[in-house]
Amino acid sequence: MGQSAHSVLDLPEPAEGARLLIVGDTHGQLADVLWIFTEYGLPSKTNVYLFNGDVADRGSHAVEIFLLLFTCMLACPGSVYLSRGNHENMEINERAQHYGGGFAEEVRAKYEPDLFVLFTALFELLPLGFVVAQKALVIHGGLWRHRGVTLNQLRQLSHRRQCPEAPQTYDDYIFFDLLWSDPHPEDGDGVHESSRGDGCILFGRDMTVEFLRRNSLQLIVRSHQLPSDGHGYEVLHDGRCITVFSASNYGGSCYNAGAILVWEGGEIDAHEFIAPNLEAQHKARNGDGYEALLRRFSSRGSEWEEEVGCAAEPPHVARLDGEIVRMLKERVCRHRHQLAAEFAKLDRGRAGRLSVEMWAKGLESVLRLDISWVKYQPWLAELTESNDIDYPSFLARFEVRLREQYAGWQRTVLQMFYNSLLAADLQITELLGFFDEDGDGLVSLNECTKALEKLKLGLSTQQIQQLVMHLGFDDQPDASSGGLAPLVQMVNNEPCVDLEAYLKRLAFVADHTVIARSDQELQDLQQIARWIEGVASRSGKSLSQLFMSWDDNSDGFIDYEEFVTCCFTCQEQLYLADPSSLEYIYTREEFDELARTVDQAKTGRINYLSFLGLFSSAEAATVVQQGSEKLSPLLARANTASVFIEHICTTIWSNDVLLSKALRSYDAKQTGSVTPQHMQKALESMNGSLPEAFTPLTPTQIQQVVHSLPLDADGRINYKEFMAAFEVRDKLQEA
């Protein structure tokens, strides 16, 4: 099929005069596909279609749709792409149609039984997603219950298999969630249980923001779900996540519009329709009734609004940066000081605002580019209520950063480490033994190193040595630990860390403390954490011993009922001792809701790692309260990338020629790498040659940069990767 080798494929941005049409679920509704092709044109090199999964099941003509798409692929390679949905899976296909399946039955009724076997094998070849123009990820379902997932991990995912019904590993959960998850409809944060059941989840707005930022993307396009308001599309998570669903009047009873997304000229529009049935379309093609159908059943038609009660104008749902826009933003960043002076000169009234024409004049004067700045204004600068441009805000809008997957490599690896353990859903004794081989309640430096090596994360010895410092084996509090106190103690001349403290620190630095769904729930979780720690202290038990005592059936986990009963008993004891000590009395139902939040793995029970995440959440909140700003624990957690403040990034990026020259002088064999000592000297050399407009980096800042960069197996820094990892980010797109 030409697209089966990888789990994620890359598609280029539609060229000038071309467009990409993204089609959501069609579920065997051939009338919708034929109507789309009739209204928007057959597939071609300039009219490319991406069908985003769930062609199979429910409807009666999935076979015909597949054959039509495959024919187009063969006739014009590169004109049609197809991703895998949760219904391109044998287990669901074998279900009866009224139970959501029906595809196996459809194939066997029309063709020889062996054809369904071929379809099953073919489905395993379909990619799980597409990255379009390095800006948008198109996947069928949604994001994951685990934080820190990267595009590189998705690209390496083993996808030539059936979707796991009961995920067991980290990769299983990524595969499962990618096909089955939905965005939280109210922009809630964190991970929530889904009404779909069977372990499905809802992912919050914060998960979307974090994934896009980490992977330098701007948008997620997904399908899988009928929008709740009768439309064929839905925009969620502040415009960062778009659902498109293309089966109109779904199942013949939902009376919804279908939609496709049209990506053209850097903008994405949502076009809605209600497909006439096959008989009506056939008659229209053989007569002169097509225009009448178009007027009634297309959102571009004159009678659409009257017919369905929806606005007729296809709305813009996203505006994405093209290569030209990216280049313009970089130019603005590089010449920010000159532009500020030029804008001030043009602003005779000192109002801080310029008309669009004067703004364009200033850009032309400084940047000397032969383009229409007015044309690109919507991508670069917002208009005020008086239709002019606040130029100080415009100049502050763009900033230089080091890509998070590079600057935050330690956190990314630790998240993979933590998520692998969480997905393994280990019993408490298995988890403790994984880190503490000799059972002394401590994690030695050697045991920590072995644990990192066991999971085969592809790390060099030098990188492992860098990572262990983030897990408490440093004798100084640092940015990676959010300013928490050092944990290390010397035992038999070897650095060791208390096992419970180690696991809590792992949750903290991996950004995987329990995430509350509201401020109130955060307070509730902190309260329960204090109660439990108080019970452990009074009884002289460690948290692991207390966990085991709460585990009534001794299966190594705490199920929801056990958690509820123990919390209820704890509350009762506190009330009997001192009724005034409780500000609020929780019900069993409320404790049950909190148990579901603590269960980070969403397995229906609480493992010890999730249990400790509850206390890491309280610890994170304490760090926030000690800070100067009131931030949520998630946003306040420091990471390695935090040392790359805008000043450092802008200085290095804007003077890359100076730094590259200095680095090459220390790289006699032109290997593209230098020692940390030479990297520091090169930065110091750049620092001494900066133009007047730049403030030199401090010695401490230079040391922070050098110490945070990943080392290869020889303990060297790949400076070419480092120099290529800077990018210009648009603060407004991430707000």
DSSP state of 489: E
Strands 136-139 and 219-222: parallel
Distances (CA, A) of 263 to 48, 115, 136, 367, 565: 10, 35, 11, 29, 53
Q: Is 23 helix (H, G, I), strand (E, B) or coil?
A: strand
Q: Record the tokens describing residue 581, joined without a space.
A: 């000590």
Q: At residue 606, what are phi and psi to the nearest 5 degrees?
A: -110, 120
Beta bridge partners of 262: 21, 269
- Residues 6 or more apart in contact with residue 386 via CB below 8 angstroms: 353
Q: Are 63 and 106 in contact (CB under 8 A)?
A: yes
Of 87, 146, 184, 470, catalytic = 87
282 is catalytic: no
Q: Which residues of 657-687 are buried (b: 16+ CB within 10 A; e: fewer)?
A: ebbeebbeebbeeeebbbbbebbbbbbebbb
Identify whether the C-beta of residue 441 lies closer than 8 Å to the C-beta of residue 498: yes
Other beta carbons less than 10 A from residue 24's beta carbon: 31
What b-and-e string marks burial along 223-241, b requiring 16 or more CB atoms within 10 Å of the CB?
bbbbbeeebbbbbbbeebb
CA distances from 364 to 2, 152, 329, 352, 730 (A): 45, 39, 14, 19, 21
Distance, CA of 719 to chain centre: 27
Three-state secondary structure call for residue 542? coil
Q: What b/e readout covers 195-218, taking b as 16+ CB neighbours within 10 angstroms?
A: eeeebbbbbbbbbbbbbbbbbbbb
Residue 255 DSSP class? -
User: Where do runs of H (alpha helix) occur along 127-270?
Assistant: 151-155, 170-180, 205-214
Q: Check: CB of residue 494 under 8 Å from CB of residue 534.
A: no
DSSP 319: E
Does residue 664 sit in helix, strand or coil? helix
Give the largest Cα separation in the chain, rounded.
91
Strand partners, 80: 49
Query: Is the distance from CB of 241 to CB of 204 less than 8 angstroms?
Result: no
**Other beta carbons within 10 Å of 699:** 12
Strands 489-491 and 494-498: antiparallel
Using alpha carbons only, how large is the chain's radius of gyration in Å?
A: 28
Amino acid identity at 373? W
> Which are the catalytic amino acids?
87
